[in-house]
């Protein structure tokens, strides 16, 4: 029975890769990922300077904000500011919030780079109800865009031999389009995490059935039997 694989080849003639590696350029991938729905937006580029990245982000964030439901107009300014400030609690570095804030509508998580903290970009985000959150140094795993990039890279490049950066970018775009047809949401503390993090306060199954108890049942320990050898009697 045939099974799905990365490629199909005639019997006796397996797929081979060139033994020479030629660096013909670099393809960078701008990525905007929404964990709640699993939707991802990508844009392959040859350079990733701040003007290129910020311009692409502004275009996509504007489209996302436009598609969101309109905020409630009766929210008091004090409640609006409190909703912004709660996301700054516990941060080592905070930026000064503008005096006039719109309702908070979006959270943007990205790397802790100097270009991402420019006054022009931060003000632009705040004016549109977007709160920027910066991952700590050495904490790139908190940015789920890194995870979706690894998934797309394996699906787009595994077992392939691209010949140009443009070809790599086209493969990434095709892979992202296929992913968005049936996206997988990313959630914190999902079922896999709950299976790994079994605390003492969790319920414990009984005998493999659906019944559970608060405390684990102690298994009966076999009683240790002692044997005594009598001393030999002498006459």
Q: What is the pLDDT of residues 149-174, one digit of tens each?
A: 999 998 898 878 888 899 999 999 99
What is the pLDDT, as a whole number, of residue 188?
74
Q: What is the mean pLDDT of residues 118-125?
A: 92
Of 2-6, 37-41, 87-91, 130-134, which gets the smallest average pLDDT?
2-6
Mean pLDDT of the chain: 81
44 pLDDT more than 90: yes
Return the higher-pLDDT residue of 91 and 51.
Answer: 51
pLDDT at 146: 87
Cα separation, 87 vs 77, in Å, equals: 16
pTM above 0.75, yes or no: no
Contact criterion met (CB below 8 Å) for 129 and 65:
yes
pLDDT of residue 95: 84
pLDDT of residue 212: 62
pLDDT of 201 reads: 53
Which helix (H) or strand (E) segment holds residue 108: the answer is strand 106-110
Q: What CATH number should be reported for the domain whose range is 28-63+76-181?
A: 3.30.420.10
Write the pLDDT tens digit of every residue in 167-226.
999 999 999 999 999 988 887 776 767 776 755 455 666 555 556 655 655 655 666 556
CB 80 within 8 A of CB 52: no
pLDDT at 23 over 90: no
Grade residue 124 by pLDDT with cuts at 50, 70 and 90: very high
Domain boundaries, given as residue ranges, for the chain = 28-63+76-181
Q: What is the pLDDT of residue 97?
A: 87
pLDDT score recorded for residue 122: 92
- Residue 145 C-beta-side C-alpha neighbours within 13 Å: 16
Q: What is the pLDDT of residue 52?
A: 94
Answer for the pair 32, 40: CB distance below 8 angstroms, yes or no: yes
Query: Are residues 107 and 91 in contact, defined by beta-carbon separation less than 8 angstroms?
Result: no
Distance CA 105, CA 131 (A): 8
What does the pLDDT average to over 134-141?
A: 80
């Amino acid at each position: 029975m045939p099974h799905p694989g990365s490629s199909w080849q005639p019997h006796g003639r397996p797929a081979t890769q060139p033994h020479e590696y030629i660096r013909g350029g670099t393809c960078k991938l701008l990525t905007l990922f929404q964990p709640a729905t699993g939707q991802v937006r990508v844009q392959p580029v040859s350079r990733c300077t701040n003007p290129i990245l910020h311009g692409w982000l502004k275009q996509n964030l504007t489209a996302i904000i436009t598609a969101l439901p309109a905020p409630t107009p009766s929210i008091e300014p004090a409640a609006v500011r409190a909703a912004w400030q709660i996301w700054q609690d516990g941060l080592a570095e905070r930026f000064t919030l503008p005096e006039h804030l719109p309702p908070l509508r979006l959270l943007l998580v990205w790397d802790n780079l100097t270009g991402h903290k420019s006054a022009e970009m931060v003000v632009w985000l705040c004016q549109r109800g977007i709160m920027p959150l910066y991952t700590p140094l050495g904490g790139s795993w908190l940015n789920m865009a890194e995870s979706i990039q690894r998934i797309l890279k394996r699906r787009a490049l595994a077992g392939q031999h691209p010949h140009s950066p443009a070809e790599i970018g086209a493969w990434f775009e095709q892979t992202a389009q296929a992913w968005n047809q049936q996206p997988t949401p990313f959630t914190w503390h999902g079922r896999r995490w709950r299976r790994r993090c079994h605390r003492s306060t969790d319920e414990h199954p009984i005998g493999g059935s659906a019944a559970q108890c608060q405390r684990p049942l102690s298994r009966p320990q076999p009683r240790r039997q002692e044997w005594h050898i009598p001393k030999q009697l002498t006459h």
